[in-house]
Amino acid sequence: MERLQKILSRAGVASRREAERWIVEGRVSVNGTIVRKLGSQADPFKDSIKVDGKRIKTGAAPLYFAFHKPPGVITTVNDPQHRPDLTEFVAPLGAKRRVFPVGRLDFNSEGLLLLTNDGEFARRLTHPRFGVKKTYRVKLSACPTDRDLAVLRQGIRLEDGIAAPARARVVEKLRKNAWVEIEIHEGKNREVRRMFGALGYFVEKLIRIRVGAVSLAPLPRGELRPLLQGEIKALKEAVGL
Show which residues are catalytic.
106
Phi, psi (rounded to 5 degrees) for 69: -70, 125
136 contacts 187 by C-beta, under 8 angstroms: no
Sheet holding 33-34, edge to edge: 33-34, 28-30, 49-51, 54-55
Q: 119-126 vs 16-24: helix axis angle to the nearest 10?
A: 110
Burial of residue 32, with CB atoms counted within 10 A of its CB: 0-12 exposed, 13-18 middle, 19 or more buried: exposed
b/e burial code for range 109-139 (CB count within 10 A of at least 16 → b) = bbbbbbbbbbbbbbbbbbeeebebebbbbbb
**C-alpha span between 97 and 21 (Å, rounded):** 22
Closest-CA residue to 149 (of 176, 183, 108)? 183
> DSSP string spanning 99-158?
-EESS---TT-EEEEEEES-HHHHHHHH-GGG---EEEEEEESSPPPHHHHHHHHH--EE
**C-alpha span between 206 and 224 (Å, rounded):** 20
